[in-house]
Amino acid sequence: METAQHIYESEHEATSTGLPNAKLAMWVFLASDCLLFGALITTYVLYRGASLVGPYPKDVFDIPYTSVSSFVLLASSLTMVLALAAVQRGDLARMRVWLLATALLGMTFVGGQVYEFTTFYREGLKLSTNLFGTTFYVLTGFHGTHVAIGILMLLSLVAMSFTGKITQRESMTVELVGLYWHFVDIVWIVIFTVVYLIPTGK
Amino acid sequence: MDETGVQERAITRPGRGGRVVRHPSPKEYIRIAIVLAIVTAGEVGVYYADLPRSALIPILFVFAAIKFLLVVLWYMHLRFDSRTYARFFTLGLAGAITLFLVVLLTFKTFAR
């Protein structure tokens, strides 16, 4: 097994910052994504309680159900860091297991969101029904899309590990996908509180 | 390593200027996950506690902030990695919070 020193030396070329460019770029991307979700959350809060017709949040939200979804997404963050730890110590088999577990938990979350959207739609909440419907679907839809993209990245990592593109030396790729995945998790932490748990007047 | 493949040993890597960057051990990650689960359960419990809105909102924000920081600092390794990453992320986060406050104060949303 390679030493940690060797992993670090081989995983990126010398850069002017002394930091791997790919990781720096990922953090810059995440910073820009903060602004995207900041705008979407702001819009949701701005129009909170401003809908003239129902259904209103209290008519459709199922907090126990969404709480389970939140637990699922938090659990996926744990499996993601365990995948990273596995590849960093050269255990590719276990990395694949944890990556697949992360993807499965992500799929459960997205599946839950699709079910939630379908239920809301049947209860009369469409994208254009009221301001709540518009802001809610756009915000949570964007988040769900991020999760879906993350799942594709995770499955790609598993596939790449079979072709020799993911190794202990190339653990940076797993770390970058991990950063994206945890970002999706922290955005949900905010959405769960602001959208679901903070009560509205109606 | 135990039967779940979890190692106690933290992963250490040399960082900029020879500084050793320590990533948490898998057991540390699991401990963080347990705290996250407890805080989430606390959030849901507080939601059903029938507290006045003026008390409920600050409590929920504190819970959310704890979870946010635990994930960012430990799972995303900002506590251990180069501060340059943290600076970029803080810049984006500060931009988002500024946008939030400016828009909501402009439209007097907090007064509603």
- Would you say B1 and B7 are in contact if contact means Cβ atoms under 8 Å apart? yes
Interface touch A31/B93, C-beta < 8 Å:
yes
Task: Tell me the two tokens of residue A18.
Answer: 């002394």
Q: Which fold has domain A4-197?
A: Four Helix Bundle (Hemerythrin (Met), subunit A) (1.20.120)
DSSP tag of B13: E
Q: What is the pTM of this model?
A: 0.89
pLDDT tens digit at each of 112 positions of chain B:
444 444 444 555 544 444 456 688 889 999 999 999 999 999 999 999 988 888 999 999 999 999 999 999 999 999 988 899 999 999 999 999 999 999 999 987 776 6
Distance, in Å, from the CA atom of B98 to the CA atom of B89, rounded to the nearest integer, reads 14
- Would you say A109 and A73 are in contact if contact means Cβ atoms under 8 Å apart? yes
Q: Is ipTM > 0.85 here?
A: yes
- Is B51 at the interface with chain A, CB within 8 A? no
Q: Which of B27, B21, B33 is nearest to B8 (CA)?
A: B27
DSSP string, A61-130: --HHHHHHHHHHHHHHHHHHHHHHHHHHTT-HHHHHHHHHHHHHHHHHHHHHHHHHHHHHHHTT--TTTS
Length of chain B: 112
User: What does the pLDDT look like over A5-47, one tens digit per residue?
Assistant: 344 434 556 788 788 889 999 999 999 999 999 999 999 999 9
Kindly identify which residue of chain B lies nearest to residue A49, measuring between CA atoms. Answer: B112
**What are the chain B neighbours of A101 within 8 Å (beta carbons)?**
none
- Would you say A31 and A25 are in contact if contact means Cβ atoms under 8 Å apart? no
- Most confident segment among A111-120, A163-172, B1-10, B52-61: A111-120
Region A48-65 average pLDDT:
89
Measure CB to CB from residue B13 to each of A8, A189, A192 and give the nearest one.
A8
pLDDT above 80: residue A151:
yes
| Boundaries of every domain in chain A | 4-197
Tell whether the torsion through CA atoms of A56, A60, A63 and A67 is positive or negative: negative
| Boundaries of every domain in chain B | 1-81, 83-112
- How far is A96 from chain B, CA to nearest CA, in Å? 12
- Would you say A80 and A150 are in contact if contact means Cβ atoms under 8 Å apart? no
Interface touch A85/B92, C-beta < 8 Å:
no
User: What does the pLDDT look like over A185-197, one tens digit per residue?
Assistant: 999 999 999 999 9
Question: Collapsing DSSP states into helix, strand and coil, what is residue B11?
Answer: strand
